[in-house]
Amino acid sequence: MLVGITGPSGAGKGLVVRVFESYGFHAIDADEIARAVVMPGEPALTRLAEKFGSDIVKADGTLDRRLLAKRAFASRENTDLMNDIMLTEIRTRMIAYAHECRTREEDCLFDAPLLFEAHLEETCDCCVAVIAPLELRIKRLCERDGITESEIRSRIKMQHEDEYYTSRCQYIIINDSDKTMLEKKAQELVQLILRRSD
Q: What is the CATH number of the domain that holds 184?
A: 3.40.50.300
Instruction: Determine how β-strand 171-174 pairs with β-strand 126-131.
Output: parallel
CB 47 within 8 A of CB 159: no
Q: Which amino acid is at 162?
A: D
Domain limits at 10?
Answer: 2-193
Cβ neighbours around 104 below 10 Å, total: 9
Q: Is residue 100 part of a domain?
A: yes
What's the sign of the alpha-carbon dihedral 147, 152, 154, 155?
Answer: positive
Instruction: Say if 82 falls within a structural domain.
Output: yes
- The verdict on residue 198 lying in a domain is no
Residue ranges of the chain whose pLDDT lies below 50: none
**What pLDDT score does 154 carry?**
85
Question: According to the model, what pLDDT value does residue 198 have?
Answer: 78
Split into its structural domains, the chain has a count of 1
Domain assignment present for residue 158? The answer is yes
Q: Per the domain annotation, does 165 fall within a domain?
A: yes
pLDDT digits (tens, 9 = 90+) for 134-159: 999 998 898 888 888 898 888 888 88
pTM over cut 0.75: yes
